[in-house]
Structure 1
């Protein structure tokens, strides 16, 4: 095999058109590694990252489940949380709107200032989150194909051939 023929050039790393296609077809539409499960060990712990062009929060809720949201306030588009840490709820730094660990709008300070707004439409936009072997994966898409359907069986070949990885 001629390895030089298939070598990746610097162009693949820096071409804006290639990057645009990678964002469109890969990073904004697929499962991406996010963190280790151990990094979200206690209720209220969170980590933020950008998947493709989408800022995402993963939060460990008080029921022990991981929840993922787009890290964008539905009111003015501000980033809700930065980096990682723990929180009792999610509060927007712009107008201090607060959201529950389920992403539901919880409180609007000085509500009368905002006039007639549809509160039901102002929840955080959910994203997808799943775990596999101690790793956390996320996708900006809510209704993405389950991560389990994409898992590769790691059993030795004789056990795979015997059907160990099916179902």
Structure 2
């Protein structure tokens, strides 16, 4: 796609976002299929925004680490000896090999290529045989630090030194969901998957519950009352909507020992989309989440995890609740995967054309406006 075509696509996205919500339409197909549009997103969104890498409780002991890629930059987040979270470049300062893979525990960060090794603060501690090079000075080497903050028990990182603190950006959301006590929810499973769809199609699927009765008719659909759903206007860094329901699982409602939530909140599920890629279903009894990383326009890596509120963890039936929750979420995910992969096939069609959004797709409208706003500097 040449520059003129890319500009035309960005203009089409902006033009759609200039419509009032009552006349809003889905985003243009090229937003999902263009590699050049993804390159713009990498430059203006992924290189600058705060992104969630998972639960802080996954790093329990000194040396526990997890790895990720923020745009083109591999990063590692670990617990240091003082139990502080530290994030840094995950690329060796010698010949630029990636250092660590996946998740695990180390006593020192050791390069698998030549054995250069680093302390938890990024300082170079060992470089085999380099003392023979007079120009080499070990003390001059330190892995570049990456900004890392914790919010509500989540690990967030950004490559932008000027980005406002994540606590500040999500202050409005903190207030909205305070009574749930999400910081204390316990992760009971974590997996990684790759689906054949564009990252935004999956994000949008999570943001709207209009599809629940149809796509999830074999699982959670029958328990979802669309007429009672609330989709308020979104905020600059997130959108959300509420569902008040008799849950399909007992853990979907507040545990009898839960004194934090009162009235209808004991049966209210919050669906949170924290831009650009952190998606959380927060119920009074459990939570689950997706954290997305695009792999080209046609694939998305998914960090998928979830668990229980502290009262259900303390319950004698905790293990049974965990198994029940995971079984349901696996079924729901399988339905979502079929849905979002079908949309990705569809957006390539020559006759594909975006239609009007329903009143239940307000979060999708706000997401499109977020994207258009971030890409305006092109």
- 2:110–2:117 CA contact under 8 A, matched in 1: yes
1:39 matches 2:58? yes
- Going from structure 1 to structure 2, the CA distance change for 1:114 and 1:83 (only over 3 Å counts) comes to farther
1:87 matches 2:111? no
**What pairs with 1:42-121 in structure 2 (closer than 5 Å)?**
42-121=61-140
Bigger Rg over Cα: 2
Distance 1:37 1:121 in 2: 31
- 2:148–2:157 CA contact under 8 A, matched in 1: yes
Tell which deviates more after alignment, 7-16 or 29-38: 7-16
CA RMSD in angstroms comes to 1.7
Alignment TM-score, normalising by the size of structure 2: 0.39
Distance 1:32 1:47 in 2: 14
Distance 1:139 1:101 in 2: 19
* Shift, 1:2, TM fit: 3.3
Structure 2: stretches of 5+ with no match in the other structure: 1-21, 177-378
- Which of 132, 135, 155 is the matching residue for 2:154? 135
* Shift, 1:114, TM fit: 4.2
Aligned length: 154
- Which of 18, 22, 28 is the matching residue for 2:47? 28
* Shift, 1:21, TM fit: 1.0
- Going from structure 1 to structure 2, the CA distance change for 1:81 and 1:114 (only over 3 Å counts) comes to farther
Structure 1: stretches of 5+ with no match in the other structure: 157-167
Shift >6 Å, 4+ stretches = none
Distance 1:42 1:30 in 2: 28
* Shift, 1:118, TM fit: 3.8
Tell which deviates more after alignment, 143-152 or 124-133: 143-152
Distance 1:126 1:19 in 2: 26
- 2:89–2:143 CA contact under 8 A, matched in 1: yes
- Going from structure 1 to structure 2, the CA distance change for 1:144 and 1:105 (only over 3 Å counts) comes to farther
- 1:75–1:122 CA contact under 8 A, matched in 2: no
